[in-house]
């Protein structure tokens, strides 16, 4: 209590502009449950409260210094221009001086001040969240995950036991508040049963992810409220510094947080876009086996936080009710995420330049699925970036018959993993050879899922025009040129009569999405009621 009282005195003194060596406007003091934040105009100073809450401990001056340094280190990975340095307030408590002489009164993180109206949750509230924002989030997070260190195998991070401790902790806190409404208890019970079963099913996967290095020192709190769009650039801030167990996690747990946040805000289109762009960049399709489990967990974390806020003293009746409803809404989303339908497998069919990729990218925003693009996965197999030039000519290098076979086999392997994990899958490739189509039809039969062909019949003159235009820009993973098109025209094998019955006409994206939704509904109803016609 002595340290808390002393810090309160210090905060009052720091409201005086004379404490700072730089120009200061009207100082604003924002208090959170673990911090004091002072906004001075150009800079922000964030002090940690002298608290020990079990999951965090800032109770001594040395600990506050350590966690300030940790916060600076962790956040400079994603926002180096915002997180500037750790500073001290020195001297007398009634007249403190920034980085001055005398004893250290407390430590703070100095940050560049940005407009709070630019945070992405605020932009979403104003209906200004866009595809550009989501694409930038996906690429930024993907590159971040690809370069941060993996946990050592002798560390406790990412073990099945540690993961379950976090999951179980949510249920303990939510059970009392959720019981205020009957449906809340029903959702909670369904989520608990599903979580136990899913956790046990994934035990070997948790260990495999550790061995493969996917447990890394992540951000830990990746939602729209911790992102901003400042001068056309994405800022991701406020990493979790106070508890390493909350940031040393599977990268897919981090992806699940942002994915869930977009779903909760009713951006199913952007959630699907984010997921596909992230996977396209990282190639971590195997991680999708765990994505739904982690998305449910992250949704439950948000429900727990909302219920805790609702129970805080001093909250108005209206705010308490709002937070309770937020908790219930997150609970409802978590329950919906546990309901997995039987997926479908789709392949495209069309020559280079027929518009398969453009159509596919629009379709994933209207019908949530994972799109696998042969142009990108072919290059990934060769160790190349998506836009890199392979230097291969027609039917040689990565476009030889042997490498093409290897590419389709790899796509088939990924498709099967995704289908077994309950995700709809679209393979974006030419599929002009019958053996290629048969390979994926066999996968659909083996997995017991629906199989559809999206056909792209386009006049040859238009194909030539599109390919020439695309090659001029050089901003596409496809390396197909006119010579490739001419070979395809000579060697393509038309759809058989049997395959024609599997075709969905690609008139409009909306019509295809509607047909796929109807097909999924019908297929799943037949699984539930197999004796009904």
Give tens-digit pLDDT for 100-109. Answer: 999 999 999 9
Domains identified in the chain and CATH numbers: 2-113 (3.30.200), 120-337 (3.90.1200.10), 344-528 (3.40.50.300)
Q: What is the mean pLDDT of residues 154-183?
A: 87
Instruction: Give a three-class secondary structure readout of 89-140.
Output: EEEECCEEEECCCCCEEEEEEEEECCCHHHEHHHHHHCCCCCHHHHHHHHHH
Q: What is the mean pLDDT of residues 363-386?
A: 96
Q: Is pTM beyond 0.85 here?
A: yes
In this predicted structure, what is the pLDDT of residue 33?
84
Q: How confident is the model at residue 179 (pLDDT cuts 50, 70, 90)?
A: low
In this predicted structure, what is the pLDDT of residue 185?
87
Please check whether residue 174 is in contact with residue 192, taking contact to mean a CB–CB distance below 8 angstroms. no
- Percent share of the chain, pLDDT over 90: 83
In this predicted structure, what is the pLDDT of residue 393?
84
Q: What is the mean pLDDT of residues 135-153?
A: 98
Residue-wise pLDDT for 393-435, tens only, equals 888 888 999 999 999 999 999 999 999 999 999 999 999 999 9
pLDDT at 97 over 60: yes
In this predicted structure, what is the pLDDT of residue 146?
98
Lowest-confidence range among 114-128, 368-382, 467-481?
Answer: 467-481
In this predicted structure, what is the pLDDT of residue 1?
57
In this predicted structure, what is the pLDDT of residue 301?
95
pLDDT at 54 over 70: yes
| Dihedral sign computed on CA atoms, order 137, 471, 414, 448 | positive
In DSSP notation, 326-367 reads: HHHHHHHHHHHHT-PPP-EEEEEE--TTSSHHHHHHHHTTTS
DSSP single-letter state for residue 275: H
In this predicted structure, what is the pLDDT of residue 524?
73
Q: How confident is the model at residue 526 (pLDDT cuts 50, 70, 90)?
A: low
Q: How far apart are the first and last CA of the chain?
A: 72
The rounded distance, in Å, linking the Cα atoms of 476 and 280 is 13
The rounded distance, in Å, linking the Cα atoms of 391 and 377 is 16
What is the chain's mean pLDDT, rounded?
A: 93
Lowest-confidence range among 131-135, 193-197, 315-319, 413-417?
Answer: 315-319
In this predicted structure, what is the pLDDT of residue 433?
97
């Amino acid at each position: 209590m002595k340290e808390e009282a002393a810090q309160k005195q210090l905060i009052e003194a720091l409201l005086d502009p004379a404490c700072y060596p730089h120009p200061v406007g009207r100082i604003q003091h924002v208090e959170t449950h673990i911090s004091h934040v002072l906004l001075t105009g150009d800079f922000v100073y964030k002090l940690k409260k002298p608290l020990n809450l079990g999951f965090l401990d800032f109770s001594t001056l040395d600990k506050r210094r350590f966690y300030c340094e940790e916060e600076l280190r962790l956040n400079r990975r994603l926002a180096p221009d915002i997180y500037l340095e750790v500073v001290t307030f020195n001297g007398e408590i009634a007249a403190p001086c920034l980085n001055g002489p005398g004893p250290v009164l407390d430590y703070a993180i100095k940050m560049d001040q940005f407009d709070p109206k630019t945070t992405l949750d605020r932009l979403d509230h104003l209906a200004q969240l866009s595809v550009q924002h989501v694409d930038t989030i996906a690429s930024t997070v993907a590159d971040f995950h690809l370069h941060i260190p993996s946990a050592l195998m002798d560390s406790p991070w990412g073990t099945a036991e540690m993961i379950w401790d976090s999951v179980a902790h949510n249920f303990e806190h939510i059970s009392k508040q959720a019981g205020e409404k009957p449906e809340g208890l029903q959702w909670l019970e369904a989520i608990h049963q599903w979580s136990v079963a899913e956790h046990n099913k994934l035990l070997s996967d948790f260990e495999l992810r550790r061995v493969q290095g996917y447990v890394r020192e992540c951000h830990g709190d990746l939602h729209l409220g911790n992102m901003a769009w400042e001068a056309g650039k994405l800022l991701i801030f406020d990493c979790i510094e106070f508890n390493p167990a909350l940031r040393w996690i599977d990268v897919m747990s981090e992806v699940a947080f942002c994915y869930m946040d977009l779903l909760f805000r009713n951006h199913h289109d952007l959630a699907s876009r984010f997921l596909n762009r992230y996977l396209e960049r990282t190639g971590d399709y195997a991680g999708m086996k765990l994505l739904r489990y982690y998305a449910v967990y992250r949704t439950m974390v948000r429900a727990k936080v909302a219920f805790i806020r609702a129970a805080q003293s001093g909250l108005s009746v209206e705010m308490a009710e709002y937070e309770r409803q937020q908790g219930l809404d997150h609970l409802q989303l978590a329950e919906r995420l546990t309901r997995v339908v039987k997926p479908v497998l789709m392949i495209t069919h069309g020559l280079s330049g027929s518009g398969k990729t453009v159509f596919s990218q629009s379709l994933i925003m209207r019908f949530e699925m994972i799109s696998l693009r042969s142009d990108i996965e072919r290059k990934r197999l060769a160790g190349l970036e998506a836009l890199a030039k392979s230097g291969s000519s027609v039917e040689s290098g990565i476009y030889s018959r042997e490498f093409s076979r290897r590419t389709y086999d790899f796509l088939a392997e990924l498709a099967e993993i995704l289908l077994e994990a309950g995700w709809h899958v679209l393979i974006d490739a030419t599929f002009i050879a019958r053996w290629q189509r048969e390979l994926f039809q066999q996968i659909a039969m083996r997995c017991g899922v629906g199989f559809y062909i999206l056909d792209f019949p386009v006049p040859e003159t238009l194909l030539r025009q599109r390919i020439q235009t695309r090659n001029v820009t050089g901003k596409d993973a496809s390396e197909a040129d006119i010579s490739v098109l001419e070979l395809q025209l000579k060697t393509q094998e038309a759809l058989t009569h049997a395959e024609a019955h599997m075709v969905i006409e690609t008139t409009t994206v909306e019509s295809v999405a509607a047909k796929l939704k109807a097909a999924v509904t019908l297929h799943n109803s037949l699984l539930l009621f197999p004796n009904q016609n």
